[in-house]
Amino acid sequence: MDSITTLAKMLKQNENPKTVSMSTGIVISPPPNAQIRLNDTVILGNNQLVFAAHILDDYEREIELEGELKFTDADCGTIVNAAGTGSVVSLNVDTTFEAKKVKSTTKDTIKEGDEVILLPTADEQLYFVVGKAVRFE
């Protein structure tokens, strides 16, 4: 093969780059020893997966709360006595609070059988698990 033919083939290969797009997979086993079925023949393991932190169990996020809580005697319920009658009791509740930073910890993670959204790298050697897929049928 001459150099012009080789150059022509190289240019032709660059004209049609392989497009990589998102796909989905099915969780066979969840983290920390994750396995995700990409298709009928490919099963991805930990060394090929990178997870978005928010889909993992015990993901902790700091949030800030501020505002005012309002409780009235009327919306706090009744205390029922043995005779089946009741009355609203007066509550001594602090109804205001200042902005406060708190932490929220998630307990819902991906589990076996869940469908997840996968974003592959260009060479398809690494897949990012970006979230749990939800379908409306």
The verdict on 78 and 44 lying in the same domain is no
3-state class (DSSP) for residue 121:
coil
Domain count, the chain: 2
CB 117 within 8 Å of CB 102: no
4 found inside a domain: no
Q: What distance in Å separates the CA atoms of residue 118 and residue 135, rounded to the nearest whole number?
A: 15
The answer to whether residues 131 and 99 belong to one domain is no
Residue 85 is predicted with a pLDDT of: 57
Q: What is the per-residue pLDDT across 19-56, written as a single tens digit (0 to 9) for each? A: 778 999 999 999 989 999 999 999 999 999 999 988 88
> Does 119 reside within a domain?
yes
Give residue 35's Cα distance to chain centre. Answer: 17
10 in a structural domain = no
Name the residue range of residue 120's domain: 19-59+106-137
Residue 99 has pLDDT above 90, yes or no: no
pTM assigned to the model = 0.61
| Low-confidence winner among 21-25, 97-101, 104-108, 118-122 (lowest mean pLDDT) | 97-101
Does residue 101 sit in the same domain as residue 64?
yes
Is the same domain home to 95 and 68?
yes
Would you say residue 60 has pLDDT above 90? no
User: Can you give the pLDDT at residue 133?
Assistant: 93
Q: Is residue 3 one of the residues assigned to a domain?
A: no
Q: According to the model, what pLDDT value does residue 88 have? A: 47
Give the tokens for residue 23.
């796909």
DSSP at 66? E
Q: Are 51 and 24 in the same domain?
A: yes
Mean pLDDT for 110-123 is 94
* Domain-embedded: residue 100: yes
